[in-house]
Amino acid sequence: MINISENLENLSWIPRPRLLALRRLGIETTEDLLTHFPRRHEDRTEFPQFPREETDAPICLCGEVIKTSVRRFGGWKKIFEATLEQAQPNALSEPLVCRWFNLHYVQKMIATGQRIVVFGRPRLRGKRICMDHPEFEVIENDEEISIHFRRITPIYPATEGLSPRVLRGIVYRVLREFPDAGWQPIAPSTLVRGERSDAIRAIHFPESWEARDAAREHLVLSEFFAMQMLIASRRFESSARAGQAHCGPGALLERFLKALPFELTAAQRKVVSEIQRDLAANYPMNRLLQGDVGSGKTVVAISAMLLAVEAGYQAAFMAPTQILAEQHYEVLRRWLEPLGVHIALRTAARQEESGPLPLFARNENPGSARLQRAGDGILPSRTFLESESTSGAHYSPRRLPHFEKPWAIYAVTITTAHRRGLGPEARNIVLNAWRHFHNTRYELFAICVMPDHVQALFQPWPKNEASREETKFWSLAELMRSLKSFTARDINRAEEKVGPVWEKETFDRYIRSDRDLVEKFHYILRNPWDAGVAKQNEEYPWIWTAEDEMRASRSSSPQNAATSTLQACAPQRLPVPRDPQITVGTHALLYESVSFSNLGLAVIDEQHKFGVAQRARLTAREPAPDTLVMTATPIPRTLTMTIYGDLDVSTIDEMPGNRGKIVTAVRDTAKLGEVLSFLRTQLEKGRQLYVIYPLIDESDKLNVKAAAAEYELWRERLHPFGCELLHGRIPAPEKQQIMDRFRRGDTNALISTTVLEVGVDVANATMVLIENAERFGLAQLHQLRGRIGRGEHKSYCILLSSSQAKEASAKLAVLERTTNGFEVAEADWELRGPGDVLGTAQSGLPALKIGDLKRDVELMRRARAAAMSIFEMDARLELPENQRFRRLIVEQQGQSFSHVS
């Protein structure tokens, strides 16, 4: 008898090479093996007659190989053909020709006289019926027939060194030897029918198609249930954080709504009242506001912020781009200053407050995001796990040097050049240089400058984060280069020497775990004493930690040499102003020393442009602020239930009534002339135009050049109407002026890149022309189209495309058909192949083994309801019957379930 977690190695009958192949699939135990589910099943109870026509659906056939041949074409390429004949051929039966191109191993596996089973689409090729690249299996002996044939047969994804048939044989035997009692149920019996053990057996070797379907349903529900338990635990964990009520009586909101030039739509009112309820409750709000582009989410966000402000709290409003943050700031000033609300803008490029008040004070409180000495037992708050991919982060593995990862904490050691030691003065220079970029290019946790090397622990920051459409990080290489050249120059000058100061190569690594971090931290702090550079009980002044600096800046107690030098170059603290009540900003809100003395509500606009971790970073403080995240990228419901499953969802499902229609048309580039003359008639009526270019990478000089060249072309084409060029590389203040001129109507057209993708709101702009539209994704095109149709005039979206490709035209046709974002999202989902589980990797949820987010919506809904109801009745999972679910959650998140004590 074997048990569920038995290592397969202990089953003496599996040969070693097979074990290794299984391990490559991540299969080590019997449970791993039996939950490696078939990809599909084949009905081999009876094989059909060989076809005489081609069919669209793939079919499964069995026959004898009567001939094989190899043909060459195009020089070295080969086609291997095997001709099959069906078991009892009759006068009408046609042979089937199976062909494989350039697959040498197939040729070695198939020989005349064998019986083989093939699966594929029969096609008519000339007069012959062919199957190209069918999946196949050779029937070796009749004993095996009972496992592999005469039944509904499971087909597993093949892998190197492990054919589906071998895998099937192993699964069959393990199932036979395996006692049913070994399986723990996952889902409650109210959710699933039957036993897990039966479902497992039936998914591999079903007695009938119905049994297979029932087994699949059981297993999918179990899988979804486990996932939803994890989501529910997160959800209950976050709502169990200490929160406060942040809701004023509503008089301020009332005044705001009265002054608005329009009435809220019913949908907007509904959402405002949902938020109001959450704000008034004393647990933290975690709400997602979904609403199509142009549905009026900003007004809802403002309403929520006013409720918090009236209750005496601060609100933060974070947007993904500088253009958008500036726009929000303008709107807020226009609408809220008359109400006496004090507003501030904070982007990397600009800091401003309404009213003559100084800038933000530095945060005096080390707060939650700060590092303490590891010895204190408190770790740096790592809101950014290395495994998280930050959405929109501007990097691709290929462009990064071998080790660089955004959001990783690095431990770096730089050694000095041969025979260059660092004297005390040089060490000061190095320490100050590193300190200099702290909080601008990276967050420095600890550094130690030794006589012959430097060790530092730090996390790179985004670069100019607000001035670009996408986040780009300081790369390790850039940081090292500038630090080294900066210090080398000064050290040489101070020591009146020439020549290299530093070694070319640095040893580095990124920190993989908290343990790693603590270890490295201790190591750095102990290094001078461990290395004998400093005596025990002697101070070593060239060690610095973020914590020291904070301590030093808070007390006037005697300090050591390092901290006093550091204090000298620390920024002057400004007198504390009356805090702004609403702070609008970009990522800068996260990284700069923005202080919120009593943040009550954080609103994140265009949430999909941020990572999950960034949301956590803004709201990681005690007591927890209420959080409202907004997105205009609708996603199919199954995904909402997973990616945003830990949030409450509000939806604005209605557009303001004063909207002109949007007409969308796909045009061939060759028709540009006609398009132009149409655009001109609209420009003459005073309307404005966006022309959008698909610049993939804005940092690419060539692309910028191309845009500039195109811009010249457009100036001629649109003459005498004025146009301007806008792209991500334009410095922020200038960008702002360009937007202002467009908003005022001084310019008629903007030639731009996707910097305009989100949020930009100019009601008089009624035309958008998108060049090379086929290069954009559907969701992105929908967003770009969302820039128009924001006023009462009829609007026009023209998608220029030269591509004849079928998928491209299917994609663009979707936009011609509908302006509804949810429909676009569903179509997008359909057009992307299966397996493209958009965004789930980013959500940190476990990968699915059997469930399909696309087809199993209903099962997901049921699983979710079951999980939620368990948590609603017993949030701490204390009831005896709920004990077993704890294990489920702990296993999935790979760490202890902190909420359950």
List interacting residues with Mg ion (CB under 5 A). 759
Q: Which of 200, 223, 183, 220 is nearest to 2 (CA)?
A: 183
x/- letters, 639..678, toward ligand ADP (CB under 6 A): -----------------x-x--------------------
Give 695-707 as a DSSP string: -S-TT-HHHHHHH
Kindly state the smallest distance separating residue 761's Cβ from ligand ADP, in Å.
Answer: 4
CA–CA separation, 466 and 821 (whole Å) = 27
CA–CA separation, 49 and 635 (whole Å) = 44
SS3 content of the chain, % helix, strand, coil (to 5): 40, 20, 40
Nearer to ligand ADP, 792 or 891 (CB): 792
Kindly state the smallest distance separating residue 606's Cβ from ligand ADP, in Å.
Answer: 8
Kindly state the smallest distance separating residue 259's Cβ from ligand ADP, in Å.
Answer: 13
CA–CA separation, 438 and 460 (whole Å) = 10
CA–CA separation, 684 and 819 (whole Å) = 26
Asked if the bond preceding 720 is cis, omega within 30° of 0, the reply is: yes
Q: Which of 402, 875, 319, 240 is nearest to 614 (CA)?
A: 319
x/- letters, 266..305, toward ligand ADP (CB under 6 A): --x----------------------x-xxxxxxx------
- Which residue stretch of 100-108, 256-264, 343-351, 709-717 sits at the interface with ligand ADP (rule: CB under 6 A)? 256-264
Nearer to ligand ADP, 268 or 383 (CB): 268
Query: Among residues 350, 790, 793, 862, which is the contact residue for ligand ADP, using CB under 6 A?
Result: 790
Residue 166, CA distances (Å) to 34, 111, 438 in order: 14, 19, 58
Q: Which does 513 bind (CB under 5 to 8 A by kind): Mg ion, ligand ADP, none?
A: none
Nearer to ligand ADP, 656 or 846 (CB): 656
Nearer to ligand ADP, 570 or 763 (CB): 763
Q: How far apart are the first and last CA of the chain?
A: 36
Judge contact between 598 and 365, C-beta under 8 A. no
Q: Which does 295 bind (CB under 5 to 8 A by kind): ligand ADP, Mg ion, none?
A: ligand ADP
Q: Which does 761 bind (CB under 5 to 8 A by kind): Mg ion, ligand ADP, none?
A: ligand ADP
Nearer to ligand ADP, 291 or 600 (CB): 291
Kindly state the smallest distance separating residue 582's Cβ from ligand ADP, in Å.
Answer: 16
Q: Which does 354 bind (CB under 5 to 8 A by kind): ligand ADP, Mg ion, none?
A: none
Amino acid at 50: F
Nearer to ligand ADP, 233 or 290 (CB): 290
Beta strands in 88-147 (DSSP E): 96-101, 115-120, 122-125, 128-132, 135-139
CA–CA separation, 364 and 574 (whole Å) = 11
Kindly state the smallest distance separating residue 260's Cβ from ligand ADP, in Å.
Answer: 8
Binders of ligand ADP among 741-770, rule CB under 6 A? 759, 761, 763
- Which residue stretch of 1-9, 261-269, 373-381, 472-480 sits at the interface with ligand ADP (rule: CB under 6 A)? 261-269
Q: Which of 755, 771, 620, 635 is nearest to 692 (CA)?
A: 771
Number of residues that bind ligand ADP (CB under 6 A): 20
Nearer to Mg ion, 243 or 759 (CB): 759
Query: Among residues 19, 240, 264, 665, which is the contact residue for ligand ADP, using CB under 6 A?
Result: 264
Helices (H), 205-296: 209-239, 251-259, 266-280
780 binds ligand ADP (CB under 6 A): no
CA–CA separation, 285 and 628 (whole Å) = 7
- Which residue stretch of 12-20, 262-270, 410-418, 817-825 sits at the interface with ligand ADP (rule: CB under 6 A)? 262-270
Query: Among residues 262, 622, 705, 887, which is the contact residue for ligand ADP, using CB under 6 A?
Result: 262
Nearer to Mg ion, 631 or 801 (CB): 631
Rounded to 5 degrees, φ, ψ at 700 are -80, 120
Kindly state the smallest distance separating residue 323's Cβ from ligand ADP, in Å.
Answer: 13
CA–CA separation, 144 and 146 (whole Å) = 5
Q: Which residues bind ligand ADP (CB under 6 A)?
A: 262-265, 268, 291, 293-299, 632, 656, 658, 759, 761, 763, 790
